[in-house]
Amino acid sequence: MTSELNAAVAGDTRLFAIVGDPIAQARSPLVFNEIFQRMGVNAVLVPMQIPAASLATAIAGLKDIGNLDGIVVTVPHKISMTPLVDRLQPIAQKVGAINCMRRAPSGEWIGEMYDGEGFTRGLRKQGHEPRGMAVFQAGAGGAGKALAHALASAGVTSLQLIDVDRAKQDALIADLAKAYPDVNVSAGSTAPEGVDMVVNATPCGMGGDDPLPFDIERLDRRVLVADIIMKPERTRLLREAEARGHRIHLGRHLLENQAEIIAEFFGVKTV
């Protein structure tokens, strides 16, 4: 938060939160608070570290805070948060995960998922049209499911998926094959090749000593390498890909392109 925003917080300030574990990597407070300040909205978004074992208890408590209007959801809670809302919007129903929830005037909490739309919008704004691409993606968790559905909906020709949790991987492949029969969906290899874009949709890369989420040695230099991790901005995957001559796509593009969508979901006009 900026010093100006800190000075503006008062008894009538509306509250928003981002919940996750870990939470230090989250850039959402900076982005959302800049939006609030730019639009003259008396609101603040704060980070809250909540471990998985305490999630239901913590969310129940947050719902009782009268001036808390919405919550952004990050790793690892995007799937486990779905039963903690009263109603899921269409994308969240399809994906089975949420990355935001808001309190409706009726008092019920509504959840939706915008990771996928944020990712595909970000690609297009950076000049990378997903339609017609052959794509490899690591990660079938909450964000990974959202990205996979969005990429299939955007018209990729094929989508190879891997996840360390084989059950999640296979379930997502089955869901996508049923929902998008024109897309060739299959299990991938940890050493992908023959694709136009590779995507890391796992938490691998948040830590400085994390291994690569997949091998990039067999990739043609024309392949776009994308990561959804926000911090560090250039993960080991992106640094090594850039050193090999690949174009790279940063995680912040996803956040920046979904933040205004989520702000409007929260009821904040951004234009």
The answer on pLDDT for 5 being more than 70 is: no
The answer on pLDDT for 47 being more than 60 is: yes
pLDDT in the model for residue 69: 97
Q: What is the pLDDT of residues 216-229, one digit of tens each?
A: 999 999 999 999 99
Domains of the chain: 3-113 (3.40.50.10860), 116-254 (3.40.50.720)
User: Residues with catalytic annotation?
Assistant: 78
Using CB atoms within 10 A of its CB, is residue 188 exposed (0-12), middle (13-18) or buried (19+)? buried
Task: Give whole-number Cα distances, 109 to 85, 135, 146, 224, in Å.
Answer: 5, 35, 20, 38
Q: Of 4 and 153, which is predicted with more confidence?
A: 153
Q: Which residues contact 165 (CB under 8 A, 6 or more apart)?
A: 140, 141
Report the 10 Å Cβ neighbour count for 258.
Answer: 26
Pair 30, 45: CB distance under 8 Å: no
Pair 165, 217: CB distance under 8 Å: no
The chain-wide mean pLDDT, for the chain, equals 95
Supply 154's token pair. Answer: 């955007």
Helix (H, G, I), strand (E, B) or coil at 160: strand
Mean pLDDT confidence for 115-127: 97
Q: What is the pLDDT of residues 186-213, one digit of tens each?
A: 999 999 999 999 999 999 999 878 999 9
Percentage of residues in the chain with pLDDT exceeding 90? 93
Q: Of 214 and 3, which is predicted with more confidence?
A: 214
pLDDT in the model for residue 208: 78
Q: Of 119 and 260, which is predicted with more confidence?
A: 119
The answer on pLDDT for 172 being more than 80 is: yes
pLDDT in the model for residue 4: 52
pLDDT in the model for residue 270: 75
pLDDT band at 138 (very low <50, low <70, confident <90, very high): very high
The pTM for the full model equals 0.91
pLDDT band at 22 (very low <50, low <70, confident <90, very high): very high
pLDDT band at 91 (very low <50, low <70, confident <90, very high): very high
